[in-house]
Amino acid sequence: MTADSPLNGRLDDDDYPAYTMGRAAEMLGTTPGFLRAIGEARLITPLRSEGGHRRYSRYQLRIAARARELVDQGTPIEAACRIVILEDQLEEAQRINAEYRRAAEEAADGSSPGSS
């Protein structure tokens, strides 16, 4: 495999659907049924192989692991999925807010007297 091989980019890609359902369940210490249930709850939507088999990315496995943690603590699966979705939305909103704050600070620094 060469340094410019297309596979190299996939190995670092959090969204690349590299894991089968069985392997994903094994890695999470859960069952394929759990993965199907969080798919039905629309927490994650695995991609499908040409043969129709579910494939999961590392990002999806992290999301599934968080849902499993909540379920293990006694949270119903539907509620766990909703919590994870809201946590993800909050994290994204905080990231965007931080970007806006940074841009506003840079704009304010650039327009202060004596900055030219």
**Residue 55 structural domain:** 13-110
Asked whether residue 4 is domain-assigned, the answer is no
pLDDT at 112 over 80: no
Q: pLDDT value at position 1?
A: 47
The overall average pLDDT reported for the chain is 88
CB count within 10 Å of CB 69 equals: 13
pTM above 0.95, yes or no: no
Domain count, the chain: 1
pLDDT at 57 over 80: yes
Asked whether residue 76 is domain-assigned, the answer is yes
Q: Compute the radius of gyration of the chain from its Cα atoms.
A: 20
**Residue 7's pLDDT band (boundaries 50, 70, 90)?**
low
Q: Tell the burial category of 60 from Cβ atoms under 10 Å away from its Cβ (0-12, 13-18, 19+).
A: buried
Asked whether residue 29 is domain-assigned, the answer is yes
53: domain CATH number? 1.10.1660.10
